Amino acid sequence: MKKLNLPLVIITWIDSGYSDASWIEAKTRLNKPMPTAVSVGWLYHKSKEKVILFSAWCTLDGEYEDGCEGSLQEIATKNIKDIKEISWQ
């Protein structure tokens, strides 16, 4: 199988916090802290603007091919607190 030459990482980042389409009083959110999130995946792209990672990938005919990634996630670089590489394979 063709090796996936991307680092596997754990990213700790500040999430936007709250997302809900229901009606609430905005003042209930004033004293709520911004949550810290943790994501794990293969680091596909890193720039001043954003990081793109995915947590699943597949093979075509037994080899990894670009374009066969799943569970894609984009995180604003300014929200990232830490990125740690994980040893795998």
Residue 4 CA to residue 8 CA, distance in Å, equals 10
Report pLDDT for 1: 46
Residue 58 CA to residue 37 CA, distance in Å, equals 26
Q: Which of 44, 35, 29 is nearest to 74 (CA)?
A: 44
Per-residue pLDDT tens digits for 44-87: 999 999 999 999 988 878 778 788 899 999 999 999 999 999 98
User: Residues 33, 41, 82, CA angle at the centre, nearest 5°?
Assistant: 45
Question: Which residues pair with residue 14 across a beta bridge?
Answer: 36
pTM of the complete model = 0.81
Per-residue pLDDT tens digits for 2-54: 567 899 999 999 997 777 778 888 898 888 888 899 999 999 999 999 999 99
For residue 38 the two structure tokens come to 């943790």
